[in-house]
Amino acid sequence: MKIIIMYLFFTFILFAQNGDWKQYLPEYKNIPDGLQINVIRIDQFDHKWFGTDGYSNINGTVGGIAKFDGKLWTQFTKNNSDLPDNNITAIAFDLEDNTWIGMRDSGLVILKNDVFSKIRGPLQFIEKGEVKNILTDQKGNVWVLFRLVICADGIYKSSALMKYDGENWVNFDLDSINVPEGEIHNIALDKDDNLYCGSQNEILKYDGSAWMHINGPGSDIRLIISYLKFDNNGLLWVGTNGFGSIPTLLIYENGLWKNTPDIYLSGEPSEIIFDHLGNTWVSSLYGGGGFNSEKGLAKYSNENWQYYNRENSAVLWNGINTLAIDSTGVLWCGTPFGACTFDGASWKYYRSSGGLPCETVNKVVVDNKNNKWMATDHFGLAKYDGNSWQTYNKSNSEIPFNDISDFEIDEKGNIWVATNGGGLGIFNGNTWIVYNQNNTGYPIDRLSKIKLDSQNKLWATTFGENTLLSFDGTKWQVFNSTNSILPESFNGNLGIDKNDNIWLGTNEGLFIYDGKDWINYNTSNSKLPNNWVQSFAFDSLGNSWVGTANGLVKIKDDNWEVFLPNNSEIGGWDINDITIDSGNNVWFGFFWGQGISKYDGNNWKHYNTVFDSSKGGIDALSIDLDEKGNLWIGTLYQGLIQFNEQKIVSVENNSKLIKNNNQDKISIYPNPFNTQTNINFILNATSDVSIKMFTITGEFVSLLTRGLYPAGKNTIQFNAKKLASGMYLCSFEITHVLQGQKQFYTKKIIYLK
């Protein structure tokens, strides 16, 4: 495979060589717009704090930190605050209700009353270093562990350990303490405020005056003590890298090492926490590394372990970075693909507010009602009817798995869904039928591609098993290297022509099956330009189009015509998908940022757009056409893109930027302003509010706020010191929570430096 909470959906107009473009992306109204949740912490007021990995998208570098107070979300990024770094690695709270925030490249900051202040003390010791841990003891001291440190004198060190007593910083000399390899991997405090440090097969204990070395459970220094946590009974739970047959989870008590009973994690523990019922929760850092890694989250209760993964929970991916438990006992999990919660009975996603579930669309299909259906890697199946979105995933449906590798829609409107881990699901709009290896006996859990022939017979290829299967509704049939000329290994791309011949694309060429016999075409016995065959299409003129990883071939009868960048005007070489419109024009979707091409039989037209310089052009994974001639493009990391050579007819457009009804509800003062101004808005009822800043020409600048606000007068402060002087548009989108009514307003503001 190449690589949710409300209902608003973000669109952005793209500018290209020709035609009309529109991009659809998830709207992150709550969890910050960053895929990976590095850390979740809960303060004494039960507010949840989320630190993410910053990354670049259409709005620039995003990520940062967000706070959820149970009703409202507040997000802080480099774009809307003085936060110096969007990569958040640690969060802690001191006795004065300050929020300490550790970053990957920019050290430490303190947040109080929505104001950031940078901590200068450590800079006298280090120039740069990632904050690994922050702890606060009962005396109010703050302990900070850095990793990958460049010291003030330019010397590189693996770790640095510091303590802040409210006035002064103390930098501990790890060399004089004889820390193995000079590296500390994690720190913990016991009930008496003794500090424990995990190192190379050793724990170091500091009682405030002296250091003590505690030998690890093995004899090899390559064993890493990677995680430490004391439970309510004073037992020290220890996570390791499992080197030398040492378990990944141990308990240390009174000088003795004890194995925990029968835990089998997918990797070394990333976090250990204890809930109010005495249960121990352990997350695994590398749980998503393979399909045998099914134990990314474990709970220890009554001397038994229970495991949670993508199959039996809403864990978005088996690898979990961080855990937290709130005052009501709800478990919060931060993963590489967002966050989720578990209240002991049900799971809930926290990622995007609605619409498209993620930025990568593996396949897009337009049905006969003009609905757009989309397959995603980790977030299920999405449907867009032109106005509203619906997502089918493990938490809200009986879909067998959230990783959707392919799907087909039959003549009755049933959706056949191939998953990469859960088998086949068939959805009739109300109920699901699931086929997997358990109830069929066939290797169908990891399906790659599927196609339906004219008799509604299913044809499918699999990941790993190197198998082609067919299913007529009753009987399964298996084709592989033992009963056919198929190779022992193939990637399995499928096509079916008008005669129901099966076209199978592999990394060893093209295989065609007529129901009785097989034939293989490759670069040695045909004009096929490359043996890695990726896509097929069949037009009404009798032409068969075959896309490869390096070029295109058109086949009619025994005639082969090859199109390459060096002998034609085709816009790319790596062809992921092909579709044909009503005029027999052939459309091609390319990888490697090469966009799309159209061929009318004589002339080529190429379309692409660069909307983010860090990502280049469009990586088209899948393309399909609707009844109005709009091309829908599923992409890698760029969401869903709609394209028309003329003009897109859509219910949403930029007219929302110039709609100015009832603007007496909104005021901005001062205006013009220098550096900072107040944005005031009055609500008749609790509403979902999104305020965005645009240039006077309609280019997006930044998101000022996004979340629920109560009835009455509300005020937010806007600091524009990072912007150039000039006139801007402040766009308001206000949605009444109960009635669902939307209102759009725009105010002009003038920033004068």
* Model confidence pLDDT, tens digit, residues 56-109: 554 455 678 888 887 777 888 887 888 888 899 999 999 988 999 999 887 899
Confidence of residue 9 (pLDDT cuts 50, 70, 90): very low
Q: DSSP for 77-117?
A: -TTTSS-S-S-EEEEEE-TTSPEEEEESSS-EEEEETTEEE
Show the tokens assigned to 516: 């009785």
* Rounded CA separation 545/547 (Å): 7
> Which two tokens mark 184?
């500390």
Q: Name which residue leads in pLDDT, 233 or 662.
A: 233
Asked if pLDDT for residue 232 goes beyond 90, the answer is no
Q: What is the mean pLDDT of residues 190-206?
A: 95
Mean per-residue pLDDT of the chain? 83
Please say whether the beta carbons of 588 and 578 come within 8 A: yes
Least confident stretch, 228-242, 290-304, 414-428, 642-656 = 642-656
Give the lowest-confidence range in 243-247, 262-266, 421-425: 262-266
Nearest-angstrom CA–CA distance, 591 and 535: 12
Residue 699 has pLDDT above 90, yes or no: no
Q: Which two tokens stand for residue 150?
A: 């460049």
pTM of the model: 0.62
Strand order in the sheet with 331-335: 322-325, 331-335, 338-342, 347-350
pLDDT for 286 equals: 60
Q: If pLDDT is split at 50, 70 and 90, which confidence band does 590 have?
A: very high
pLDDT at 16 over 50: no
Provide the pLDDT for residue 293.
45
Is the per-residue pLDDT at 356 higher than 70? no
Degrees, nearest 5: CA angle 634-638-644? 55
User: If you average pLDDT over residues 445-450, what whole number do you get?
Assistant: 92
Exposed, middle or buried: residue 127 (CB in 10 Å: 0-12, 13-18, 19+)? middle
DSSP label of 596: E
Q: What is the mean pLDDT of residues 541-562?
A: 93
Of the candidates 18, 6, 9, 2, the one whose C-alpha atom is nearest the C-alpha of residue 595 is 18
pLDDT of 211 above 60: yes
Position 278 scores a pLDDT of 87
Residue that wins the pLDDT comparison between 287 and 728: 728
Tokens of 550: 């390096």
